[in-house]
């Protein structure tokens, strides 16, 4: 995988455009970054609802406890943004060219590639960083006995990591809802497309 730092994202014209198959179908999705972020924000509700189940599990396992948001947890979460995107990037495969952008206006970082990948691989690519930095640490936090020095930092890191992955959940939702079994995903410009391989 070749990761190329492209700098600050200003408009869709900066994004790589691919040669799409004739039978490619454009995803029904927002046309702008602002629209994407607004629609993605709806996924904070199921993400935090899932996290609440872990909180309930921790209380059942360990009794009453406090869950404080900590500065160290916030800092750890901020430092996970690049590794989060790097995990997305490596999932495109060793021969992929992946571009990395920062958007100061939208306070986000993202990667994009025009390499075609399977539906299941795109779902895995989208969810992997959220598992590594969100759900798995939250599970570890739930099963470990409460420790005031460590637990609140891990809890904060996990919750913020889950929240920062809301755009990935929107991608998975669109993929599951719109892509038929056996189809391939391909990015071009700001949009995703699917097609059936010949």
Residues 120-169 pLDDT 10s? 999 999 999 999 999 999 999 999 888 877 889 999 999 999 998 999 99
Global confidence as pTM: 0.92
Number of neighbouring beta carbons within 10 Å of residue 110: 20
**CA dist 170 → 118, 175, 176, 177 (Å):** 17, 8, 10, 10
Grouping H, G, I as helix, E, B as strand and the rest as coil, residue 26 is: strand
pLDDT value, residue 76: 96
Quick one: pLDDT band at residue 61, thresholds 50, 70, 90? confident
The residue among 95, 102, 125, 141 whose CA lies nearest residue 192 is 125
**Residue found under tokens 């408009």:** 11
């Amino acid at each position: 995988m070749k990761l190329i730092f492209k700098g600050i994202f200003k408009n869709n014209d900066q994004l790589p455009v691919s040669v799409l198959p004739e039978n490619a179908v454009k995803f029904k999705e927002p046309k702008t970054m602002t629209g994407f972020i607004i629609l993605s924000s709806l996924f904070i509700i199921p993400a935090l609802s899932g996290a609440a189940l872990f909180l309930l599990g921790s209380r059942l396992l360990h009794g009453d406890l406090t869950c404080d948001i900590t500065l160290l947890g916030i800092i750890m979460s901020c430092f996970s943004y690049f590794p989060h995107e790097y995990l997305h990037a490596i999932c495109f495969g060793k021969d992929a060219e992946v571009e990395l952008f920062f958007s100061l206006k939208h306070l986000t970082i993202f990667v994009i590639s025009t390499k075609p990948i399977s539906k299941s691989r795109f779902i895995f690519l989208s969810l992997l960083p959220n598992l590594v930095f969100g759900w798995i640490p939250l599970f570890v936090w739930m099963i470990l006995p409460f420790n005031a020095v460590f637990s609140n930092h891990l809890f904060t890191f996990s919750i913020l990591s889950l929240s920062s992955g809301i755009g990935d959940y929107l991608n998975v939702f669109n993929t599951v809802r719109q892509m038929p079994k056996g189809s391939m995903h391909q990015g071009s410009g700001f949009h995703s497309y699917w097609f059936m391989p010949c």
